[in-house]
């Protein structure tokens, strides 16, 4: 771990370090069993309350491709995916996440997953025939932070649609890019996911060392998942990647044309963290979906870890556009292996919303300047009257 | 004039009419002298208080090309312009607009301008040598609404830089697209500018016929100028066009990199009105500059006039993103021909801000539905606590 | 007319003049009757031999919107068009152009068209009910160069689909941009179309004053039509505009996915002339269709006329990519008012293909350098063995 | 290895297999020593004959960022790179490649590299201080195919310029993407690079099993390097990635503006292989540089291997645009560890150029159809007269 004082200030206003400058005093024990070798976040198993409404949103509006469907579930994939699906919409009584699913490098990694989580005392289930259509032998666990994690290697192959431009739409989604998990204690979560083999690429801290969020990767992008501080376990969002920025704008235009612009919660914009171009949508159940493009390669072991000051108002939007309060407060519940919602644990450390736009919070465009122009100020203060 | 009941509702949620459905009971008299034949909005003469700061903004950040400069003024142009300049930055004691400058079809149109405004009882000045470098014989008037209007035909030609990709930047501005004027009584302004030869392309009204804004054109785009309801005469903004949407995003990215993101007031986004992609910036004096791309051809005499309901929250942003209050309230003063600020006349009709996000105002995404999702509501109510 | 020696060399390698530097010794007489006031090129009436195959190309591949269709004709329009159609596909025994159709400013301009062409001795027909569905009172003529020209004002209005992003495709075509006509004597054609009210914006000449092609406009873009030197009358191509360059690339990608890439004849590329981004396709009958975006505003009366040296190999492709021979040689026949093909008149002046890539021809990237790199040379010489 | 008959034909016209369907009867022995763990292609050490001319091309035209320079060498990097450089321009008497440089996962991998190549009987040099500025302990070898390969882990860190939009140009290059090596026997090369840890992602074969080219990756993109059949060892090209397609078009536009369009050898276009958008340039010494964007994720161990038919004319350009002969024939010499050019070994199997556009060769757009339209035929036949 890099000490805060050893970080290097860049000309872009954030810091870089060699190791994630994140420490926990309350770690989950590190198992002696080796972690499974995770390739990438690979699929989300999502429970929706109105399958037809969700199909309309993900297929007719967002253009995901249907691999297979029946009365209870729809198996969807992005253009580039060559395994059966990367999103399952599953009919259920309560909108929630049933599983964050990761692909591992080999069948043997499932044995490792069983040993790893068993040593941690977690509930573990393995099904040789898989938990969902299209996937084979799989392990599902309730992880130490309460999240339903799934691991699999075997998967039915389907055609990669990258060359099938005749079925692409203007906002074509090409990849599942990442998950984002809400959890009360970010350093504790980071330490655990580091044990599972993730590496931190970026984080947001304040000058006292409180960590508000951290981004972690297996594949060499900015993240496969992130830990966002808040009452959890919950899912903040799932993100799909497009090729170009205009593809994201096309999704907005299409939502306007369908008089569904209220599905847009935040953006489009440029992230500070990750440097990606983004858009946040809310699906018919309120599940948050990010559309994302153009972060950077992180695959070298000495990839510099980027740390943002929580008061830097370009950290979450490089253009300084305000983060709407719902983006901080709303998230999707996650299920245990019986399909029941996991109870929530409240965050006890400072909230990013409070310290940035709360009554005593503040944000800056230039660190040396206290105030923002009139046209920016109002939006940045909770409790302020517009 | 088309009666409101004769408008046609489109599948996009706005109305179309054959004639602008705008009527005034208090018209400025129509001169018997014919109006000058205006080609296009051609240049803005802008007074700034810190010439070096403005140069940095318009040249170093926005990439406008310097045709000529001295201690008191900088003459700038966009890529495509072949006349001397389309923006003058002029050092002065108070930030304001010295002239909205239009190019006319022939030298004889200057005689027509003199006759037209003289008959209206306006103050008129003509200078054979022009009021600014690079332009020849010119007429300046204080128009009946209090705006400083300039007309010219003679202009020094300079090289069009369209093929000079070696000097283009990622956010290259190609054309001066339009002006936008704040005036208390929109129908009265529309009627006057129709007398001057402008045609209405779009407007915003409520169900009672109050007109909040109207767009008017000479060249066959959505506008050369617009009348926005408010205390006036003031300039709401001046707009420059780019070729593609990514050029506008590049300007935002650049402002972030320069830690000047607080120059972004609103957007980027897609307009409902005009269907263009947009961004609003504030220059060092607070003058508002729009960056704009891809509206539509309007040159046929029966071009349908588009009318938007003021409560349609996609009218000003097709994606339903909120209009910030400063965008409604702030504007630049304009000067009389002595260089003194024109006194303001207050708008007496309803304000668009009040009826849409004010205490008793409302906006909808779908007309049949009263409420918006939680993540949209807070932003839309002035007086609401965030 | 500007004399060749009075042209100004620009830093981009072409010349500019105040008047088109084009003169004819063999003019078509200028009628004493005033010309109709043409607004814009508005529609093409195209005869195709296999209506189903053409429908597949223009609707399923290119995404044009069907306004109406029957067993004999399909009426299509681009996104922005608000009149009934801008392309008619008409079943017929021989692939050809039935009419180049222009919209005029008023019904009275049809009387002017009748008088203008009658004075020229041309065959003229007028039909109060129009020649095609969706258009009213129309005049068709066989013009002095043999082209079937149509003029109309009355047209059925339909919905402009600009806001209907839900029905847009990745390669959405937004406007009919221009026609391009092949005719043996370019200066003679230019002079005639100037009489009809067109203005020259660009041309290609050699050092001896031979004119190979000229571009002419009514609406303020680079052209509504162009005269290309060759055996005529024939249609070289019809062009539709997209908003952005990626839209054009998407059409190529889609053709590849459909295994119809052999519909691509030339491009995509950047034009020297017009500075637009382009692609040339061939439809199932071999009619050439250009997809085009981002030329420049030309509406001022003193808009500089651009003249390119025929030997400048960036004139037709700014990137110096070769023009394929078929692009020079192939074109569509045009019909007389009885529906019979107009006889061809051979060009007697030098051909652009011969002087640039023919045995004694030459092209340069930099005028002072005689040769091009090995990887460019082979492609530029007809008669050379690859 | 998948047998040819077990490949699966996709709806896009190519085949997929589980293992690369490539076999060699003449393998280089597989060392018993384990291969170094290569992260990615990381830098090219390029000898140029005129350093100033090369600087102009790579810095002033292409916009690479100078980390450091002296009289003999310039150290350049792309936007995203955080190590000292990914391109060295080194002054020398003969244009050539001095080293293809790969980054390994750890310092220990250098020991593995020494053992691996020593066992193969290759010449191996190790320098604790590195062979170039900015890199530490490094190993250089003459590999069994005659290529100068370098391995390093230690590198000086510099600032990643991803957020520095103020120094980006319209054609900004973000990453070094891959190398491409010309070698006589592709299956033999593939087998050797598989021993070094590379995985095949795509290849081009004919129906008899002759392999014309193969693409191989370490990082999860389509390639870190490729083997192209031809007289070797030579470098076919080095490739840099941009974010979007318009960035590549901007490079072409800029070259046109600088009257350097003859630096464009082929493209821009869409590859069949890799599905990426591409452009090939030639630098002042004739070294070929590809600009590349948007291939696909290949990081799963069962990533389907794509095999293209050599006669499919969409394999190298998805739009069917012709490959110019020089692209097949020209390549850069490579140096041995003494700086002397490696002797060439001639390819004995069929050449891709001969079998596709040679006298007896053929290419198809649709496999069932023998001929292409007239406008495509001429370009595809060497020996044909244009």
Q: Looking at per-residue confidence, does C367 or A203 come out higher?
A: A203
In angstroms, the CA B216 to CA B202 distance is 8
Contact flag B375-A324 (C-beta cutoff 8 Å): yes
Is residue C62's pLDDT more than 80? yes
Task: Report the residue from A167, A244, A257 with minimal CB separation from C166.
Answer: A257
Q: Are D230 and D52 in contact (CB under 8 A)?
A: no
Residues of C with CB under 8 A from a CB of A: 163-170, 172, 244, 246, 250, 253-254, 256-258
A78-90: pLDDT as tens digits: 999 999 999 999 9
Chain C partners within 8 Å of D265 (Cβ): 375
Task: Report the residue from A166, A168, A254 with minimal CB separation from C166.
Answer: A254
Q: According to the model, what pLDDT value does residue C152 have?
A: 98
- Rounded to a whole number of angstroms, the distance from the CA of D78 to the nearest CA of chain B is 17
Is residue C386's pLDDT more than 70? no
What's the longest Cα–Cα distance across chain D?
Answer: 61
Q: According to the model, what pLDDT value does residue B374 have?
A: 72
Q: Are C198 and C225 in contact (CB under 8 A)?
A: yes
In angstroms, the CA A338 to CA C111 distance is 82
Q: According to the model, what pLDDT value does residue B381 have?
A: 57
Chain C partners within 8 Å of D272 (Cβ): 256
Q: Are A316 and A271 in contact (CB under 8 A)?
A: yes
Distance (Å) of CA A179 to CA A41, A288, C336, D32:
7, 11, 65, 41
In angstroms, the CA D98 to CA D334 distance is 6
Q: Which of C256, C234, C210, C236 is nearest to C323 (CA)?
A: C236
A268-320: pLDDT as tens digits: 999 999 999 999 999 999 999 999 999 999 999 999 999 999 999 999 999 99
Percent of chain C with pLDDT over 70: 97
Nearest CA in chain A to D296: A80
Residues of A with CB under 8 A from a CB of D: 10-12, 14, 39-40, 80, 82-83, 103, 105-106, 157, 159-160, 162-164, 174-175, 219-220, 243-245, 272, 275, 294, 296-297, 299-304, 318
- pLDDT band at residue B383 using 50, 70 and 90 as cut-offs: low
User: Could you write out the DSSP letters of every residue in A40-75?
Assistant: EEEEEEEEES-HHHHHIIIIIIT-PEEEEE-SSEEE
- pLDDT band at residue C305 using 50, 70 and 90 as cut-offs: very high
Distance (Å) of CA D236 to CA B339, D182, D225, D330:
66, 6, 10, 7
Chain D partners within 8 Å of B163 (Cβ): 256-257
Percent of chain B with pLDDT over 70: 97
Distance (Å) of CA C34 to CA A359, C20, C197, C225, D25:
73, 21, 9, 20, 83
C175-191: pLDDT as tens digits: 999 999 999 999 999 99
Is residue D379's pLDDT more than 60? no
A216-271: pLDDT as tens digits: 999 999 999 999 999 999 999 999 999 999 999 999 999 999 999 999 999 999 99
Task: Report the residue from A220, A244, A300 with minimal CB separation from D244.
Answer: A244
Q: Are D310 and D113 in contact (CB under 8 A)?
A: no
* Mean pLDDT, residues A369-380 taken together: 67
Which candidate in D164, D293, D296 is best for mutational testing of the A interface (most A CBs within 10 A)?
D296
Chain D partners within 8 Å of B170 (Cβ): 165, 168-170, 172
Instruction: Tell me the pLDDT of chain C averaged across its residues.
Output: 95
Contact flag A384-B385 (C-beta cutoff 8 Å): yes
Task: Report the residue from C165, C170, C244 with minimal CB separation from A257.
Answer: C165
Chain B partners within 8 Å of A256 (Cβ): 270, 272, 314, 318-320
- Who's near C85: CB < 8 A, 6+ residues apart? C43, C67, C68, C75, C76, C77, C132, C133, C134
Task: Report the residue from D11, D245, D297 with minimal CB separation from A164.
Answer: D11
Q: According to the model, what pLDDT value does residue A381 have?
A: 57
C86-96: pLDDT as tens digits: 999 999 999 99
Q: Looking at per-residue confidence, does B370 or D342 come out higher?
A: D342
Residues of D with CB under 8 A from a CB of A: 10-12, 14, 39-40, 80, 82-83, 103, 105-106, 157, 159-160, 162-164, 174-175, 219-220, 243-245, 272, 275, 294, 296-297, 299-304, 318
* Mean pLDDT, residues C222-248 taken together: 98
C-D contacts (CB, under 8 Å): 127
Extract the tokens encoding B315: 């009218």
* Mean pLDDT, residues B8-13 taken together: 96
D11-22: pLDDT as tens digits: 999 999 999 999
- Who's near D263: CB < 8 A, 6+ residues apart? D57, D61, D255, D281, D282, D283
Extract the tokens encoding D298: 């290949």
Distance (Å) of CA B307 to CA B68, B222, B329, C194, C245:
42, 13, 23, 38, 31
Contact flag A375-B330 (C-beta cutoff 8 Å): yes
Helix (H) or strand (E) holding A192: helix A186-195
- Rounded to a whole number of angstroms, the distance from the CA of D314 to the nearest CA of chain C is 7
Which candidate in D6, D19, D163, D314 is best for mutational testing of the A interface (most A CBs within 10 A)?
D163
- ∠ CA C94-C97-C100 to the nearest 5 degrees? 165
Q: According to the model, what pLDDT value does residue A162 have?
A: 98
Chain B partners within 8 Å of A378 (Cβ): 324-326
Q: According to the model, what pLDDT value does residue A378 have?
A: 47
Q: Are C295 and C221 in contact (CB under 8 A)?
A: yes
* C-alpha D371 chain-centroid distance: 32
- Who's near A269: CB < 8 A, 6+ residues apart? A277, A278, A279, A317, A318, A319, A321
- Rounded to a whole number of angstroms, the distance from the CA of C110 to the nearest CA of chain D is 40
Coil, strand or helix at C58: helix
- Rounded to a whole number of angstroms, the distance from the CA of C123 to the nearest CA of chain B is 28
Instruction: Tell me the pLDDT of chain D averaged across its residues.
Output: 95
Q: According to the model, what pLDDT value does residue D200 have?
A: 98
* Mean pLDDT, residues A149-153 taken together: 98
Is residue D382's pLDDT more than 70? no
Contact flag C164-A258 (C-beta cutoff 8 Å): no
* Mean pLDDT, residues A135-159 taken together: 98
Distance (Å) of CA A186 to CA A182, A305, C254:
9, 16, 46
Q: Are D66 and D88 in contact (CB under 8 A)?
A: no
pTM, full prediction: 0.98
* Mean pLDDT, residues C268-272 taken together: 98
Q: Which of B340, B381, B330 is nearest to B97 (CA)?
A: B340
B-D contacts (CB, under 8 Å): 41
Q: According to the model, what pLDDT value does residue B378 have?
A: 47
Contact flag A253-B327 (C-beta cutoff 8 Å): no
Is residue C163's pLDDT more than 80? yes
In angstroms, the CA B332 to CA B44 distance is 13
A157-215: pLDDT as tens digits: 999 999 999 999 999 999 999 999 999 999 999 999 999 999 999 999 999 999 999 99
Q: According to the model, what pLDDT value does residue C378 have?
A: 47
Q: In what order do the strands lie in the sheet with B124-127?
A: B65-69, B73-77, B87-91, B38-48, B96-104, B148-152, B138-142, B124-127
Chain A partners within 8 Å of C169 (Cβ): 169-170
Is residue C380's pLDDT more than 70? no
- pLDDT band at residue C357 using 50, 70 and 90 as cut-offs: confident
* Mean pLDDT, residues A31-41 taken together: 98
Extract the tokens encoding C149: 């020209």
Buried b (16+ CB within 10 A) or exposed e, A231-257: bbbbbbbbbbbbbbbbbbbbbbbbbbb
Q: According to the model, what pLDDT value does residue A368 have?
A: 83
- Rounded to a whole number of angstroms, the distance from the CA of B340 to the nearest CA of chain A is 26
Instruction: State phi, psi for B216 to the nearest 5 degrees.
Output: -140, 145
Chain D partners within 8 Å of B244 (Cβ): 246
CB atoms within 10 A of CB A209: 12
Distance (Å) of CA D283 to CA A220, D88, D255, D346:
31, 14, 12, 25
Buried b (16+ CB within 10 A) or exposed e, D160-178: bbbbbbbebbbbbbbbbbb
Instruction: Tell me the pLDDT of chain A averaged across its residues.
Output: 95
D27-43: pLDDT as tens digits: 999 999 999 999 999 99
A87-101: pLDDT as tens digits: 999 999 999 999 999
The alpha carbons of chain D give a radius of gyration, in whole angstroms, of: 20
Which candidate in C79, C162, C166 is best for mutational testing of the A interface (most A CBs within 10 A)?
C166
First to last CA, chain D: 43
Q: According to the model, what pLDDT value does residue C362 have?
A: 87
Chain C partners within 8 Å of D260 (Cβ): 365
Residue C383 zone, left/alpha/beta (φ > 0; ψ -120 to 50; rest): left
Instruction: Tell me the pLDDT of chain B averaged across its residues.
Output: 95
B42-61: pLDDT as tens digits: 999 999 999 999 999 999 99
Q: Which of B170, B106, B100 is nearest to B137 (CA)?
A: B106
Q: Judge if the upstream peptide bond of residue D289 is cis by omega within 30 degrees of 0.
A: no
In angstroms, the CA D231 to CA D226 distance is 15
Is residue D384's pLDDT more than 60? no
SS3 string of chain B? Answer: CCCHHHCEECCCCCEEECCCCCCCCCCCCCCCCCCCCEEEEEEEEEEECCHHHHHHHHHHHCCCEEEEECCCEEEEECCCCCECCCEEEEECCCCEEEEEEEEECCCHHHHHHHHHHHHCCCCEEEECCCCCCCECCEEEEECCCCCEEEEECCECECCCCCCCHHHCCCCCCCEEEEEEEEECCHHHHHHHHHHCCCEEEEEEECCCCCEEEEEEECCCCCCCEEEEECCECEEEEEEEECCCHHHHHHHHHHHHHCCCHHHEEEEEEECCHHHCEEEEEECCCCCEEEEEECCCCCCCCCCCEEEEECCECCCCCCCCCCCCHHHHHCCEEEECCCCCECCCECCCCCCHHHHHHCCCCCCECCCCCCCCCHHHHHHHCCCCEC
Is residue C379's pLDDT more than 80? no
Which candidate in D43, D155, D160, D222 is best for mutational testing of the A interface (most A CBs within 10 A)?
D160
């Amino acid at each position: 771990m890099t000490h805060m004082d050893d970080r290097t200030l860049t000309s872009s206003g954030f810091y870089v370090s060699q190791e994630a400058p994140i420490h926990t005093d309350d770690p989950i024990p590190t198992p002696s069993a080796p972690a499974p070798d995770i390739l990438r976040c690979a699929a989300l198993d999502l429970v929706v309350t109105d399958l037809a409404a969700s199909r309309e949103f993900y297929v007719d509006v967002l253009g995901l491709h249907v691999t297979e469907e029946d009365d209870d579930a729809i198996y969807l994939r992005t253009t580039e995916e060559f395994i059966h699906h990367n999103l399952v919409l599953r009919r259920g009584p309560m909108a929630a996440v049933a599983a964050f699913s990761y692909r591992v490098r080999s069948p043997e990694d499932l044995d490792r997953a069983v040993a790893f989580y068993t040593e941690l005392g977690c509930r573990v289930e393995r099904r040789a025939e898989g938990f969902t259509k299209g996937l084979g032998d799989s392990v599902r666990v309730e992880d130490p932070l309460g999240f339903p994690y799934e691991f699999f290697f075997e998967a039915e192959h389907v055609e990669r649609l990258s060359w099938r431009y005749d079925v692409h739409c203007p906002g074509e989604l090409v990849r599942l890019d990442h998950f984002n998990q809400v959890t009360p204690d970010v350093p504790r979560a980071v330490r655990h996911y580091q044990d599972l083999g993730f590496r931190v690429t970026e984080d947001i801290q304040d000058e006292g060392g409180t960590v508000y969020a951290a981004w972690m990767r297996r594949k060499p992008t900015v993240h496969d998942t992130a830990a966002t501080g808040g009452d959890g376990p919950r899912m903040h969002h799932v993100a799909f990647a497009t090729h170009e920025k205009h593809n994201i704008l096309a999704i907005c235009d299409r939502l306007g044309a369908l008089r569904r612009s209220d599905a847009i919660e935040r953006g489009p914009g440029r992230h500070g963290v990750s440097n990606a171009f983004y858009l946040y949508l809310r699906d018919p159940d309120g599940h948050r979906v990010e559309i994302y493009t153009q972060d950077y390669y992180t695959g070298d072991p000495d990839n510099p870890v980027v740390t943002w000051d929580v008061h830097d108002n370009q950290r979450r939007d490089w253009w300084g556009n305000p983060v709407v309060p719902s983006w901080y407060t709303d998230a999707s519940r996650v299920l245990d292996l019986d399909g029941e919602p996991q109870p929530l644990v409240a965050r006890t450390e400072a909230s990013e919303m409070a310290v940035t736009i709360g009554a005593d919070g503040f944000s800056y465009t230039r660190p040396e300047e206290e105030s923002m122009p009139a046209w920016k100020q109002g939006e940045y203060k909770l409790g302020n009257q517009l």
